[in-house]
Structure 1
Amino acid sequence: MRPIQFDPFGEPVAASSEPGRATATSRVALRFGVALFWGLVVVIVAARAAYFDPDFAERFGNVAAAIGHLRTIVGA
């Protein structure tokens, strides 16, 4: 006998009539989702590597210095 499952509100969940078919569909959806996720990871990392700008971090230092000069001028 299978244990009774409950939804988040405490109501019992009815057992599905075709458990084999739902698991096959969910497996396909899971594999598609995992493949889509890792495909996007590869594309994003490849794009970051292709368009890498080594001076990008230095620009933030310039902005921080400009804000520091602005604060001394304003007197804050």
Structure 2
Amino acid sequence: MRVISSRDFNQDVSNAKRIARLEPVFVTDRGKPTHVLMSISAFRQLTGERESIADLLAMPGAVADIDPPVVESWGRIGEIG
């Protein structure tokens, strides 16, 4: 667990995010912990929450490689077009 001041957090959010991928980051205000920054996977593990299909589809590039089938003819059910 890493502890950083709110001033340091504000000056380098990217560094705090990098650290939070590995371990929780406690942000302090006047020496007292006020916030915790952690990766989403650590949060989900902590809460028992799992990714929903909507979360997975919202990920960048998640559906970019999927080519939908092309339907050339719409016939009746059971009919081959």
Q: Normalised by the size of structure 1, how large is the TM-score?
A: 0.22
Highest CA radius of gyration, 1 or 2? Answer: 1
- Name the structure with the higher helix share: 1
* Higher normalized strand content (fraction of residues): 2
